[in-house]
Amino acid sequence: MKSVLRYPSALVLCFAMLLSISTASTAAPLIPNAPNLDASSYILVDFNTGAILAEKNSTMQAEPASITKLMTVYVAFQELRNGTLQLTDKVTVSKKAWRTEGSRMFIEVGKQVKVEDLLQGIIVQSGNDASIALAEHIAGTEETFAQLMNQHAQTLGMSQTNFLNATGLPAAGHLTTAADIATLSAAIIREFPEYYNWYSQLEFTYAGIRQYNRNKLLRRDRSVDGLKTGHTESAGYCLAASAKRDNMRLVSVVLGTDSDAARSSASQALLNYGFRFFETHQLFTEKQVIESPRLWEGAKQTLAVGTGNGLSATIPRGQAKALTVNTNYQQQLMAPIQAGTVVGEVTVTLGDKLVTKQPLLALETVPEGTLFQRLKDKVLLMFAGDDE
């Protein structure tokens, strides 16, 4: 005891040093503010979680130029999935399609072109002629096709978007936002992986004319695999891009820059920022059981619950071990219960910050138990009170 009392300052100093080292090793990493880019609006989103990592005026309406063609192609992909359109279908080129201005695939009036060729002509060559030809084939007229585009936009939650044509050529009221285009881009990647590789195609040759993909990031950054450029004098230079590194995919949308080089540089800066300072951490896989809480009056006494589609969180790099997962249930769980029923909520926090939350679902169907099981549980519930 005396020896301890004789050297209190030394002990306190050592403890403070150890505490300092421990605190430093667990301290949150420093994350700078997102790049301030010279564009009218932009957004950077984690594809897997929907977390916004950077944005500027992302909900401000703007002209999308040829980024419009993301929706033109999305509609066609839906038609292919529904079986109302085939890649081998032949499309007769109208005079309107042939005469359209701007970027072209160089299809000829009266000739028949396969749907697959038109799609690649739109995606790689940004062909306005191909866009109109495909729109007319699907819906009869470009105007009717634009109605389809807007219906799909509403289904996707693109609430600030209004399409008037299939090309993105200037038209009063033809508007969208960076956030809405990010939503559309993610939908294409998620819903149509069998076609998405076309967006990374560097060139496409039709009628002996070779044209190159205008998305320069495809050549500069091997992790970039899409999506679409756009440019008109009134819209400026625009780019929707996506890249995947390890298990993390990011989607960036940049609208209203003043040059081809500027849109590429801005998009690259956003992607580099996101990959450098953040990570996508998967906590639970699809249909993984998170918990098995007590189920009353059922054929079994527990219920497997989870999030159905899995659960991932976007966090600062190196902070996965600091995440906390909590589950909350709406009420005592009673049988019968169907798989997919929402029974509560799972929340993920990092310190005192909410990272994400999702509905907690029943992962199995459990019928009512026997009369004896139900009566037994009724008695137990009478005595359990609020503690169960």
Element (H, E) at 324: strand 323-329
Catalytic residue among 41, 94, 103, 126: 126
Q: Which two tokens stand for residue 201?
A: 């195609």
DSSP secondary structure code for residue 148 in this structure: H
Q: Where are the alpha helices (DSSP H) in 157-259?
A: 178-191, 193-196, 217-220
25 catalytically annotated: no
Please state the separation of Cα 127 from the chain's center in Å. Answer: 26
Q: How far apart are the first and last CA of the chain?
A: 49
What does each C-alpha distance from 52 to 270, 282, 297 come to in angstroms?
Answer: 11, 17, 43
357 catalytically annotated: no
Residues in the chain: 388
CA distance 82 to 138: 12
What SS3 state is found at 19? helix
69 catalytically annotated: yes
Residue position matching structure tokens 């009478």: 382
CA distance 251 to 267: 9
Q: Is 264 exposed, middle or buried (0-12, 13-18, 19+ CB in 10 A)?
A: buried
Q: Which two tokens stand for residue 91?
A: 């499309």
Element (H, E) at 117: helix 115-123
Catalytic residue among 40, 56, 69, 265: 69
CA distance 190 to 184: 10
Beta bridge partners of residue 231, listed in sequence order: 237
CA distance 251 to 163: 22
CB 131 within 8 A of CB 167: yes
Residue position matching structure tokens 């080129």: 93
Catalytic residue among 40, 41, 58, 66: 66
CA distance 170 to 132: 15
CA distance 194 to 179: 24
Which active-site residues does the annotation give? 66, 69, 126
